[in-house]
Amino acid sequence: MNPSKRPFVLVNMAMTADGKIATANRAVTSFGSDRDREHLYALRATADAVMCGARTVELSQATLDTGGEKFRRRRLKSGRAEHPVRVIVSGSGSIDLESEIFRVKTSPLIVLTTRRVTAKKRGLLRLLADEVKPFGDRELNLRAALLWLRKAWGVKRLLCEGGGALNDALFRAGLVDEIHLTLCPKIFGGRTAPTIADGLGFGSLKAAGRYRFTSVRPVRDELFIVLTRTPGSG
């Protein structure tokens, strides 16, 4: 898909030295430093919209806010809206309606889902979100969803903050243009601990997403890494 016809997509994740983004029991989902948190908010300030999977929103109690006055001013200075559009992805519509994100009304909230969600659940979500939009019958069609976000909401730059299943779906659809990784000096282990790209994955080396390192920056005991998609891949 031509990136000019959809948002430019960034994925930002912190991961341990063994590639985990949470402990196996999901009890620990935030483990980066204050510098990593600052980096997250700085990236949000460059985005028209911030997107998360429903489970990530529930576990982290994320509100996808700007991160404070400094970043709000940075957004306005760059010509962006004061707050980013917030996007929750839930193919099953099973997100907890008591999640903290529904209590925050600073910017539009969109739920991307599928037509397998019952009319009753869609109705309940519409009471809390600004828009509930289905794409696909059983599986969420992310390509179509991103095109719609660009056309209907003017989203030119979209930041995805996980979790692993949503990242995997974006990678497999060839929709990720840039990856920001914070490598933290911790080991979580665990066969079932989530990674930055869970889900179905790629079935062969030939099909795998191809990226190149464009920046590797050590800051104290963390590495801040940027990868960009190899031209012609995906």
The closest of 222, 226, 190 to 33, measured between CA atoms, is 222
Side chain identity, residue 82: E
CB count in 10 Å sphere of residue 162? 26
Q: Residue 233 and residue 136: Cα distance in Å, rounded?
A: 25
Name, in order, each residue with C-beta under 8 angstroms of 90's C-beta and a sequence gap of 6 or more.
53, 54, 111, 112, 113, 117
Fold classified for 3-229: Dihydrofolate Reductase, subunit A (3.40.430)
- Give whole-number Cα distances, 37 to 47, 66, 68, 137, 210, in Å: 16, 12, 12, 36, 27
Which pLDDT belongs to residue 1? 44
CA-based nearest residue to 36, from 56, 16, 65:
16
Q: DSSP code of 101?
A: G
Q: Do 13 and 181 form a contact (C-beta atoms < 8 A)? A: yes
**Cα dihedral 190, 36, 69, 108 in deg (nearest 10):** -40
Number of Cα atoms under 13 Å in the Cβ half of residue 184: 19
3-state secondary structure 32-100: CCHHHHHHHHHHHCCCCEEEEEHHHHHHHCCCCCCCCHHHHHHHHHCCCCCCCEEEEECCCCCCCCCCH
pLDDT at position 231: 79
CA distance linking residue 104 with residue 156, whole number of Å: 23
**Where on the phi/psi map is residue 190: left (φ > 0), alpha (ψ -120 to 50), or beta?**
left
Maximal C-alpha separation, the chain: 51
Give the pLDDT of the chain (234 residues) as one tens digit per residue: 455 599 999 999 999 999 999 999 988 888 899 999 999 999 999 999 999 999 999 988 899 999 999 999 999 999 999 999 999 999 999 899 999 999 999 999 999 999 999 999 999 999 999 999 999 999 999 999 999 999 999 999 999 999 999 999 999 999 999 999 999 999 999 999 999 999 899 999 999 999 999 999 999 999 999 999 997 665
